[in-house]
Amino acid sequence: MRLNAFLARAGVASRRKADELIKAGKVTVNDAPGELNTFVERTDVVRVDGRKVGKSALRHVLLVKPRGTIATASDPRGRPTVVDLVRGEIRVVPVGRLDRDTTGVLLLTNDGPLAHRLSHPRYGIEKVYVADVEGEPGDEALAALATGLELEDGRTAPAGVRLLGPSQIELTLHEGRNRQVRRMLEAVGHPVVRLRRSRYAGLPAGRLRAGDWRELTRDEVRRLRQLVGLS
């Protein structure tokens, strides 16, 4: 396991923050300075500022993100983050992003390999969104969303599209570009008024309300790992 992933799983910091600790010379492996490309074996001794750390048990959490929270492990501006909402001694970080004003299903974990694969475009993890939009989308707009649109960062992949009401659309995506749903709907002339993610990798919110969270079951974790080819 790479050193930054080890530190993240141990609850020391996110991978990005772990890299900063390593660069600052605060991390040792078997009393030697850790490097960004250091791999940690089971018998290795890792210390941060002289304090020995070990891997925490794996934890997988499903959260319904409320509006106004930041989907990151920390925020330099001091705004509330999704990590602040999840109690427990074992630290977890979000898998992927939801923008500040988007609500809905978000997975948090310290399972580095699983998080990496769930976030990687190669695995095409399904994400389902429900958007309230301006105006009433017609057949032309729905067809454009379904077949793909030219955005500033390239053409979008085909999407599942369902009209839930005159001004409400369900979009099913298998890619995860920055603010993609909002940009797609703006491109067809129906900007988002309200947006939530109703399902991620097959996991629905269920009875959870905004700000609520729960631990995933063993069967749910097993299914996620199978989905991305992990044993």
Task: Report pLDDT digits (tens) over 160-194.
Answer: 999 999 999 999 999 989 999 999 999 999 999 99
Angstrom CA distances, 112 to 6, 42, 109, 122, 131, stand at 8, 16, 8, 16, 30
Phi, psi values for residue 219, rounded to 5°: -65, -40
pTM of the complete model: 0.83
Residue 49 annotated as catalytic: no
Burial per residue of 93-120, b for 16 or more beta-carbon CB atoms within 10 angstroms, e otherwise:
bbbebbeeebbbbbbbbbbbebbebbbe
Angstrom CA distances, 53 to 4, 6, 20, 164, 186, stand at 12, 9, 17, 50, 47
Q: How many residues does the chain have?
A: 231
pLDDT tens string, the chain, 231 residues long: the values are 899 988 887 878 778 889 999 999 999 999 999 999 999 998 999 999 999 998 778 999 999 999 999 999 888 899 999 999 999 988 899 999 899 999 999 999 988 889 989 999 999 999 999 999 999 999 999 999 999 999 999 999 999 999 999 999 999 999 989 999 999 999 999 999 999 999 999 999 999 999 999 999 999 999 999 999 997
Overall fold of domain 3-53? 3.10.290
Question: Taking the domains of the chain in order of start, what are their residue ranges?
Answer: 3-53, 60-121+203-227, 126-200
Marked catalytic residue, from 19, 75, 99, 212: 99
Structural class in CATH, domain 126-200: alpha beta
CATH node for 60-121+203-227:
3.30.70.580
Domains 3-53 and 60-121+203-227 share a fold: no
